[in-house]
Amino acid sequence: MGTPPPAGAPARLLVIPFSHYCEKARWALDLYRVPFVEERFLPGQHTAAVRAALSGARLDGAADAAGSALSTPVLVLEDGTVLQDSSSIVAWASRVHGENALYPHPDVAAAERRFHDGLGIWTRRLAYGFCFGTPALLRRLIADNVSGTKAQIARAATLVAGPLIARYGALSAADETALIASIDRELDEVDATLQQHSHVVGAAFTAADLAFACALAPALLVQPHEGCTAVYPPLDVVPTRYRTLAQAWRARPAGRHALAMFATRLSAKPSKGRGFKPSPPGPGL
Ligand SMILES: N[C@@H](CCC(=O)N[C@@H](CS)C(=O)NCC(=O)O)C(=O)O
């Protein structure tokens, strides 16, 4: 394992702050009041820190459908134990601090895996497609989620490389249509499930609800005042197409369920040590 933190130091959570997989981990830690300090990186800026945190550690998660072997979130516990992968972190929090309440049935982990491998990837690609295609939106996403030198470097990069990012990151019409269809199919399934019972698996909040709400968050643009700690652009600043989709998804049962799950977070106080303040909205939006 990497260099253990000094005795008494809180756990460290390495994140790409607007990642909904990182949001899953934060939510579970907050739910059980596990104190942690968050270390925030932009994509690409995260690799050195993750490599250092993992060095010598047994890797819980190698590359998978969603992320590389250096993906975030990574949780470094006070005793030096390193957990990589959002599901491992949620499972650890539930097992150690919650008497495994988030996993009352084997179907929960299966549903969590399904949202990880499908919905989460589709909503992320769609959101990145809209943000990459609108450089001012990308700059705002950066400014709202990281501060200091990391943000300045990224902002400069988006100013210089904006057209390139737009060219390679924006979605083709065909890809956008396919992603929307995949998201809609999953939401049809969740709508149907919610006709049978109040939650994604059974009648109580589980890791399946947590994973579902996080996977859908970038598509709904869930806001901090609605319980999401990743800061997505507000609906009124995104391209009309994105806003229309988000509004339609928010209005259906599956979307309402995700928003209701986030609302339950508002009553839970975040753990100490996060202390990140988003910058004021950047120019251009
Ligand atoms: N299986 C991982 C996937 C996480 C993931 O895809 N994280 C993205 C951010 S959304 C990431 O860190 N990407 C950079 C990389 O994979 O190196 C998990 O659930 O934690």
Q: How far is the CA of 74 from the centre of ligand 1 (A)?
A: 9
Contact at 8 Å (CB) between 220 and 250?
yes
Name residues contacting ligand 1 (CB within 6 A). 16, 19, 21, 43, 61, 64, 66-68, 70-73, 85-87, 116, 124
What pLDDT sits at residue 281? 38
pTM given for the model: 0.89
- Which segments of the chain are extended strands (E)? 11-15, 36-40, 74-76, 82-84
So what CATH class is 11-97?
alpha beta
What pLDDT sits at residue 144? 87
Q: Whose CA is nearest to atom 13 of ligand 1?
A: 71
Q: Whose CA is nearest to atom 11 of ligand 1?
A: 71
Euclidean distance between CA atoms 266 and 228, whole angstroms: 9
Euclidean distance between CA atoms 37 and 76, whole angstroms: 10
Euclidean distance between CA atoms 50 and 52, whole angstroms: 5
Contact at 8 Å (CB) between 22 and 72?
yes
Per residue of the chain (285 residues), what is the pLDDT tens digit? 344 555 566 899 999 999 999 999 999 999 999 999 999 998 888 999 999 999 866 555 578 899 998 999 999 999 989 999 999 999 999 999 999 999 999 999 999 999 999 999 999 999 999 988 888 888 888 888 887 777 777 777 776 666 667 666 788 999 999 999 999 999 999 999 999 999 999 999 999 999 999 999 999 999 999 999 999 999 999 999 999 999 999 999 999 999 999 999 887 655 544 544 433 333 333
User: Where along the chain do its domains lie?
Assistant: 11-97, 106-266
Euclidean distance between CA atoms 106 and 109, whole angstroms: 6
Q: How far is the CA of 21 from the centre of ligand 1 (A)?
A: 7
Q: How far is the CA of 117 from the centre of ligand 1 (A)?
A: 11
What pLDDT sits at residue 275? 42
Largest Cα separation within the chain, whole Å, is: 53
With the most atoms of ligand 1 within 8 angstroms of its CB, the residue from 16, 21, 216 to mutate is: 21
Q: How far is the CA of 90 from the centre of ligand 1 (A)?
A: 14
With the most atoms of ligand 1 within 8 angstroms of its CB, the residue from 71, 74, 216 to mutate is: 71
Euclidean distance between CA atoms 80 and 75, whole angstroms: 9
Buried b (16+ CB within 10 A) or exposed e, 204-233: ebbbbbbbbbbbbbbbbbbbeebbbbbbbb
What pLDDT sits at residue 279? 36
Alpha helices in 77-146 (DSSP H): 86-97, 106-117, 119-132, 135-145
